[in-house]
Structures are given as structure tokens and as C-alpha cells.
Amino acid sequence: MVPVTGGNKASREEGCKMHVMPKLPPAILAAAAIALAAPAHADAYHDGYNDTKDYYSQPKNHQYYLDQQHDHGYAAGITCQSYVVFQGVTSGKDDWIRGCIDALHDLGLK
């Protein structure tokens, strides 16, 4: 470290204060940490959620799902995994499936 020379002590201390980071409230730090830790495939989750909710919120599709669930014991996980295979979802499959399952549950489907 190179010693600071010249000027008086007060001006050197004032210069140091200009480079000190302000103390941030814990809530802001927590929000920043969550934002940085967001999954890389967050878009895949939203795609799975929105696609599924749009499709199964239509009455005929909703009823079809209920009938299949009753007749064959379908569950949300199997339905979403099947959709990924048949529709060719390639990027962020796990996140897409999570979004799909959440949408089905939000629609009251199991």
C-alpha cells in the first residue's frame, strides 16, 4: 500500500469517506440476494405455468383433465412430463414442469 502524502490529514480522511459504501438496510440486501439467486430457467417456469393455465382454464380441457384423472389416476406430474415429451420442450425442462404443476394445482387439479 502506498502511503498518501501531501495535503492535510482532514482532506485525506474526507477523501476516504467518499469511497465508503453506505450501509444498506437488511431488506434491500435480502432482495438483492434473492434476485441474484434466481434460477437460470425462470422463463421456462413461467412458460410452463402460463401454457398450462391457459389450456386447462378452458372448461372443456379442464373437464377432460378431471375425467382422465378419475378414469386413469393421472396426476399433475405425469401430465406435465408427458407434455414436455410430446411438445418437445428442450430448455429448462425441470422448471417448465414445476410451472406446469403449479398451474394445475392453482386451477384446483391434482
pLDDT band of residue 37 (cuts 50, 70, 90) is: very low
* pLDDT score at 76: 87
Q: Which domain holds residue 85?
A: 42-106
Q: d(Cα 3, Cα 12) in Å, to the nearest integer?
A: 11
| Domain assignment of residue 66, yes or no | yes
Task: Evaluate the CA torsion angle 97, 101, 107, 110 in order and state its sign.
Answer: positive
Q: How many CB atoms lie within 10 A of CB 92?
A: 19
Cβ neighbors of 108 (< 8 A, separation 6 or more) are: none
Per-residue pLDDT at 48 exceeds 90: yes
Per residue in 83-104, pLDDT tens? 898 888 888 899 999 999 999 9
Q: d(Cα 69, Cα 33) in Å, to the nearest integer?
A: 40
Task: Enter the pTM of the model.
Answer: 0.59
| Domain assignment of residue 14, yes or no | no
Structural domain count of the chain: 1
| Domain assignment of residue 64, yes or no | yes
Task: Evaluate the CA torsion angle 98, 51, 59, 62 in order and state its sign.
Answer: negative
